[in-house]
């Protein structure tokens, strides 16, 4: 009769075998889902076309990086595999990281950026001014995301009479770029408006990939209505941002640029009336 082991016994045995066999290895892959918490440790996924591996670079080792880690970077990580018994997970505990050329997403981004730049799609003279007092703004974003909440918070705070139309769309995933491009076309042909706002919260290069697709870039350029983007955080730049008539650093920034501060304007008018 075969030996019956507890989960703990089996996991401990696997930990011993794995950590002894892979005590020092080098792994090539692309960085994605990079997280930089306040602890100073750096957590990311190392992936290729067929698999992915959790990895962590602890704060003491992170000090020796030649350049900051970034999503989409193709790297060679040296370290050891560890098994965390309570969850039965394994990960790569990284000792050092060296660049290994450009990752697939970064290379795709740079190639498309160069192509569209050569076509003049990013040229400032092509871009249109935004109306100071729009009557109707259409915001294309996830109906459940934080970006919409941030935008509407500014709208309410500014006590604006502008009519805001919410057009729900996927902002991440395989079909998101097509869905966003289709939304732009439909707003132009059927819904109308004075400004279109495309926005979503921050994320990795992979998370923002829909905003780096050519189909969306060309839809922005074709739009007869001025387009404002507010994608991610201040450090995030996408192809959509370069094509837009105005790039805001965040969804909140997009709202502040698109919506006049009517409450403040009313206060100024009242103050001037009292002076007359």
Is 109 buried (19+), middle (13-18) or exposed (0-12) by CB count in 10 A?
Answer: buried
Which CATH code for domain 7-102?
Answer: 2.40.50.140
261 phi and psi angles, rounded to 5 deg: -85, 85
DSSP state of 225: S
- DSSP-assigned letters across all residues of 124-187: GGGPPPPPSS-SEEEEEE-TTSHHHHHHHHHHHHTT---EEEEEE---SSTTHHHHHHHHHHHI
pLDDT for the residue 67: 78
Domain ranges for the chain: 7-102, 107-263
Q: Which CATH superfamily is domain 107-263 in?
A: Succinyl-CoA synthetase domains (3.40.50.261)
- Say if CB 18 and CB 83 are below 8 A apart: yes
Rounded Cα distance, 81 and 118, in Å: 45
pLDDT for the residue 265: 56
- Say if CB 250 and CB 232 are below 8 A apart: yes
Torsion of CA 214, 211, 153, 263, to 10 degrees: -40
Rounded Cα distance, 258 and 141, in Å: 15
Q: How many alpha carbons fall within 13 Å on the CB side of residue 143?
A: 5
pLDDT for the residue 27: 94
Is 240 buried (19+), middle (13-18) or exposed (0-12) by CB count in 10 A?
Answer: buried
CA angle 140, 144, 146 (to 5 degrees): 85
Residues 6+ apart with CB under 8 A from 145: 171, 200, 201
Q: What predicted TM-score, i.e. pTM, was given to this entire model? A: 0.66
CA angle 110, 124, 241 (to 5 degrees): 45
Helix (H, G, I), strand (E, B) or coil at 96: strand
Average pLDDT per 10 consecutive residues for the chain, totaling 276 residues: 86 92 92 94 94 94 85 91 92 89 76 95 94 94 94 91 95 94 97 96 84 97 97 86 95 93 59 59
pLDDT for the residue 263: 57
pLDDT for the residue 187: 97
pLDDT for the residue 271: 61
- DSSP-assigned letters across all residues of 22-53: TSSEEEEEEEEEEE--TTS-EEEEEE-SS-EE
């Amino acid at each position: 009769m075969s030996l019956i082991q507890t989960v703990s016994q089996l996991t401990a045995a696997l930990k011993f075998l794995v950590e002894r066999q892979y005590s020092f290895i080098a792994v090539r892959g692309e960085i994605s889902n990079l997280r930089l918490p306040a602890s100073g440790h750096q957590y990311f996924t190392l992936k290729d076309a067929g698999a992915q591996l959790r990895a962590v670079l602890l704060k003491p080792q992170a000090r020796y990086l030649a350049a900051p880690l970034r999503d989409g970077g193709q790297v060679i990580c040296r370290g050891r595999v560890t098994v965390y018994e309570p969850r039965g997970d394994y990960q790569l505990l990284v000792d050092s990281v060296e660049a290994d050329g450009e990752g697939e997403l970064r290379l795709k981004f740079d190639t498309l950026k160069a192509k569209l730049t050569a076509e003049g799609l990013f040229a400032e003279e092509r871009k249109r001014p935004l109306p100071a007092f729009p009557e109707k703004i259409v915001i294309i974003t996830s109906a459940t995301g934080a970006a919409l909440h941030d935008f509407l918070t500014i709208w309410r705070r500014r006590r604006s009479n502008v009519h805001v139309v919410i057009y729900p769309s996927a902002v991440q995933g395989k079909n998101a770029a097509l869905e966003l491009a289709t939304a732009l076309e439909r707003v132009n042909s059927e819904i109308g408006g004075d400004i279109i706002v495309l926005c979503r919260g921050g994320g990795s290069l992979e998370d923002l990939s829909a905003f780096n697709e050519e189909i969306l870039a060309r839809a922005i350029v074709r739009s007869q209505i001025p387009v404002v983007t507010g994608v991610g955080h201040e450090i995030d730049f996408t192809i959509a941002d370069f094509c837009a008539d105005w790039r805001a650093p965040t969804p909140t920034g997009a709202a502040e640029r698109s919506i006049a501060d009517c409450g403040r304007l009313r206060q100024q008018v009242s103050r001037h009336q009292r002076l007359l």
